[in-house]
């Protein structure tokens, strides 16, 4: 029986960002340099496939520092950590490597600068996300207030509207964040902030690529983890543009093939923590069921590379 035709619109950029690549390389190099086990506090990036591959090489993932035995190296995840975490590692004389993405560290420094200048800080982000916990933990409790929506921004009460600043999580929806910032700027005209927001290049580009294909797609698959913020945003962006069958899948085995049985055009993208091999797996599974044509839609090219921490690149002392 002949297979049904399916056009796949492949969003580009998709998948791994420079911060995720750096974090994974930090774990791999640390295992090479110090030997297994190397402990990692929190999932290094939000992707089970990546985590399991690193476990096979000798990484041990834990939630908190008190699960790390004395005398073994520990790595902090790409999302960033509250200041108490490195402080505790130092107190315990643990060898630690910070894999916080440099673009998250930049937001931490912005927060510190506003705090030094006497401003109360509004953080636009999602409660409970490790990046938000890490950013709020850069300053004493109460210095940063979290706002998750435009509705919350409308009712926010601040200490002094003239001494106020905002920062944002790096993996938010660009469009929703603009709406929240507009509310804050209308209510507090003196609020300071970054030129646009702190959403990173990778989040912005992956959302733009989805916008470029969503209206042409009958359905769209986002390869990513349910706890990956930027992946969840890609599903929302597609749905807002009318592609209601936008779905998050971790692996090909998660695809709801019955829902795709009658479609002609399928969009595929991947969150910043999903490796390309999983996109290939999903495309391979499509080929088993359909006669596939692939059209890659590229909105921009990326060449961002972040340096590794010196302690992992410096040659060992003779
Ligand atoms: S999504 Fe953006 S902020 Fe997060 S690790 Fe990647 S580059 Fe860094």
pLDDT digits (tens, 9 = 90+) for 265-318: 999 999 999 999 999 999 999 999 999 999 999 999 999 999 999 999 977 555
| pLDDT score for 316 | 59
> Rounded CA gap, 55 and 42, in Å?
13
> Rounded CA gap, 72 and 95, in Å?
7
For the Cβ of 249 lying below 6 angstroms from any atom of ligand 1, the answer is: no
DSSP string of 227-239?
T-HHHHHHHHHHH
| pLDDT score for 10 | 98
Residue percentage of the chain with pLDDT more than 90: 96
Q: Which two tokens stand for residue 242?
A: 């009318």
Given a cut of 80, is residue 122 above it in pLDDT?
Answer: yes
| pLDDT score for 197 | 82
Q: Which two tokens stand for residue 26?
A: 């930090």
> Rounded CA gap, 236 and 36, in Å?
40
Peptide bond into 13 cis (omega under 30): yes
Given a cut of 90, is residue 195 above it in pLDDT?
Answer: no
For the Cβ of 230 lying below 6 angstroms from any atom of ligand 1, the answer is: yes
Quick one: how far is CA 293 from the chain centroid?
30
Q: Which residues are paired to 249 by β-bridges?
A: 223
For the Cβ of 97 lying below 6 angstroms from any atom of ligand 1, the answer is: no
| pLDDT score for 107 | 98
Q: Which residues are CB-neighbours of 239 under 8 A, at least 6 positions away? A: 246
Check residue 123 and report its DSSP letter: E
Ligand 1 centroid to Cα of residue 199, in Å, is 9
Average model confidence (pLDDT) across the chain: 96
Closest residue by CA, ligand 1 atom 8: 19
pTM reported for the whole predicted model: 0.95
Ligand 1 centroid to Cα of residue 156, in Å, is 28
Question: What average pLDDT score do residues 33-57 get?
Answer: 96
Given a cut of 60, is residue 226 above it in pLDDT?
Answer: yes
Given a cut of 90, is residue 1 above it in pLDDT?
Answer: no
Q: Specify the ligand 1 atom closest to the Cα of 20.
A: 5
| pLDDT score for 196 | 83
Ligand 1 centroid to Cα of residue 175, in Å, is 18
| pLDDT score for 112 | 98
Q: Which two tokens stand for residue 20?
A: 């995720």
For the Cβ of 272 lying below 6 angstroms from any atom of ligand 1, the answer is: yes
Ligand 1 centroid to Cα of residue 11, in Å, is 18
pLDDT tens-place string over residues 153-167: 999 999 999 999 999
Helix ranges (DSSP H) in 144-275: 150-155, 174-187, 201-214, 229-240, 257-260
Question: What average pLDDT score do residues 98-115 get?
Answer: 98
| pLDDT score for 317 | 57
For the Cβ of 45 lying below 6 angstroms from any atom of ligand 1, the answer is: no
- Asked whether 278 and 49 are in contact (CB, 8 A), the reply is yes
- Asked whether 31 and 287 are in contact (CB, 8 A), the reply is no
The angle at the Cα of 166, spanning 80 to 185, to the nearest 5 degrees, equals: 155
> Rounded CA gap, 72 and 179, in Å?
46
> Rounded CA gap, 213 and 220, in Å?
9
Q: Which residues are CB-neighbours of 84 under 8 A, at least 6 positions away? A: 137
For the Cβ of 202 lying below 6 angstroms from any atom of ligand 1, the answer is: yes
> Rounded CA gap, 77 and 58, in Å?
16
Give the residue from 27, 51, 47, 52 showing the smallest Cα distance to 39. 27
Out of 14, 16, 18, 19, mutate this one to test ligand 1's pocket (max ligand atoms within 8 Å of CB): namely: 19
Known catalytic residues? 131
Check residue 200 and report its DSSP letter: -
Question: What average pLDDT score do residues 248-260 get?
Answer: 97
């Amino acid at each position: 029986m002949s297979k049904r035709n399916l056009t796949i619109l492949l969003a580009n950029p998709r998948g791994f960002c420079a911060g995720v690549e750096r974090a994974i390389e930090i774990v791999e190099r640390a295992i090479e340099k110090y030997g297994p086990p190397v402990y990692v506090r929190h999932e290094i990036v939000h992707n089970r496939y990546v985590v399991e591959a690193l476990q096979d090489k000798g990484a041990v993932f834990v939630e908190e520092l008190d699960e790390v035995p004395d005398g073994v190296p520990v790595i902090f995840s790409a999302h960033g950590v509250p200041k108490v975490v490195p402080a505790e590692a130092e107190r315990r004389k643990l060898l630690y490597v910070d894999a916080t993405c440099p673009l998250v560290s930049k937001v931490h420094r912005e927060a510190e600068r506003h705090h030094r200048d006497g401003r109360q800080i509004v953080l636009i982000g999602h409660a409970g996300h490790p990046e938000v916990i890490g950013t709020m933990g850069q300053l004493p409790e109460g210095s940063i207030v979290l706002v998750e929506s435009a509705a919350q921004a409308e009712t926010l009460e601040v200490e002094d509207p003239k001494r106020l600043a905002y920062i944002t999580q790096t993996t938010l929806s660009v469009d929703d964040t603009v709406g929240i910032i507009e509310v804050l700027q209308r209510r507090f005209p003196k609020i300071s902030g970054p030129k646009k927001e702190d959403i990173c290049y990778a989040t912005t580009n992956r959302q733009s690529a989805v916008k470029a294909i969503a209206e042409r797609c009958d359905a769209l698959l986002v390869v990513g983890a349910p706890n990956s913020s930027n992946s969840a945003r890609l599903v929302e962006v597609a749905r807002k543009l009318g592609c209601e069958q936008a779905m998050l899948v971790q692996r090909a085995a998660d695809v709801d093939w019955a829902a795709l049985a009658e479609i002609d055009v399928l969009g595929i993208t991947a969150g910043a923590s999903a490796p390309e091999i999983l996109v290939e797996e999903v495309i391979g599974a499509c080929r088993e069921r359909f006669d596939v044509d692939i059209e890659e839609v590229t909105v921009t090219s990326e060449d961002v590379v972040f340096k590794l921490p010196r302690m992992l690149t410096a040659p060992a002392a003779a």
